[in-house]
């Protein structure tokens, strides 16, 4: 490609990055805290494209449009196949990839690790917790801060090979490429029909029951379910509170 074509591709990349940042599509790729950097990168790419086009604008002493010529005075045409480089951009703009779900969760070991500490829990009934917070307290605090409390946890459903249900959130360090699941087993008043990847808001109480993740042997706590209801998938499907 010549410089003008490169500038056009650069402009399209910058536009796609800005669109992903402003529409929230970027949350399928990176954590929300990186959105300002992504938007800044889009602005820089577009500015670089505009500067390149300005530098490459036709200009000659006699005012005639400048032609792109080689050293021998003949114009050189780049192969048209190079424009295929633009196709991934249209895929990024037109196709929104789904967030990682139950298949990844059940083929990846739990990412649960010991938290730095266990801050006092606020009042409220039920107590709203994320999956990682409940799992960390259930395993590493042995449920001391959870006993005699009703909790409310939201995640998506994953089923193991025997059909046993788990409530899962995918935890991010930086981006979707390093996402790992945190899992909670469900017992008690579980809905009779559960579909993988559906989002469920579960109310229940702590139980000492736990199992080992068959993938990496990590601990998976359970929650005694007293009630549940389906909920829409959140705008940001990943759990960014995890500090694994």
Residue 120 DSSP class = P
Strands 165-171, 180-188: pairing kind = antiparallel
Instruction: Set out the domains of the chain in order of their start, with CATH numbers.
Output: 3-94 (no CATH), 102-239 (2.40.50.140)
Helix, coil or strand: residue 199? strand
Judge contact between 208 and 143, C-beta under 8 A: yes
Specify the DSSP class assigned to residue 216: T
pLDDT, tens digit (0-9, with 9 covering 90-100), for 49-90: 888 888 877 665 555 555 544 445 555 555 566 666 666 666
Residue 202 has pLDDT above 70, yes or no: yes
Rounded CA-CA distance 56/18 in Å is: 24
Q: Are 176 and 28 in contact (CB under 8 A)?
A: yes
Q: Is the pTM of this model over 0.75?
A: no
Task: Identify the three-state secondary structure at position 222.
Answer: strand
d(CA 64, CA 52) in angstroms, rounded, equals 20
The residue that leads in pLDDT, 61 or 216, is 216
| Omega before 126 within 30 of 0, i.e. cis | yes
State the first-to-last Cα distance of the chain, in angstroms, to the nearest integer.
44
**Site of tokens 């990168």:** 41
Distances in whole angstroms, Cα of residue 4 to Cα of each of 48, 73, 75, 90, 164 = 12, 19, 15, 19, 57
Which residues touch 237 (CB under 8 Å, ≥6 apart)?
27, 28, 99, 156, 170
- The tens digit of pLDDT for each residue in 167-196 reads 999 887 777 667 789 999 999 999 988 999
For residue 113, pLDDT over 90 is answered with: no
């Amino acid at each position: 490609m010549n410089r003008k074509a490169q500038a056009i591709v650069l402009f399209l990349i910058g536009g796609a990055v800005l669109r992903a940042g402003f529409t929230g599509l970027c949350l399928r790729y990176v954590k929300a805290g990186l959105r300002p950097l992504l938007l800044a990168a889009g602005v820089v790419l577009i500015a670089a494209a505009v500067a390149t086009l300005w530098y490459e604008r036709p200009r000659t002493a006699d005012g005639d449009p400048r032609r792109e010529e080689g050293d021998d005075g003949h114009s050189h045409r780049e192969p048209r196949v190079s424009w295929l480089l633009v196709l991934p951009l249209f895929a990024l703009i037109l196709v929104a990839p789904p967030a990682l779900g139950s298949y990844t969760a059940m083929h990846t070991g739990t990412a649960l690790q010991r938290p730095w500490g266990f801050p006092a829990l606020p009042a409220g009934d039920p107590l709203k917790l994320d999956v990682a917070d409940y799992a960390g307290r259930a395993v590493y605090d042995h449920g001391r801060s959870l006993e005699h409390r009703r909790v409310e946890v939201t995640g998506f459903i994953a089923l193991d090979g025997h059909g046993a249900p788990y409530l899962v959130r995918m935890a991010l360090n930086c981006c979707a490429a390093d996402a790992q699941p945190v899992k909670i087993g469900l017992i008690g008043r579980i809905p009779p029909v559960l579909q993988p990847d559906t989002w469920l808001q579960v109310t229940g109480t702590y139980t000492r029951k736990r199992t080992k993740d068959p993938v990496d042997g990590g601990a998976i706590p359970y929650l005694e379910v007293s009630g549940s209801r389906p909920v829409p998938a959140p705008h940001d499907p990943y759990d960014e509170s995890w500090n694994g």
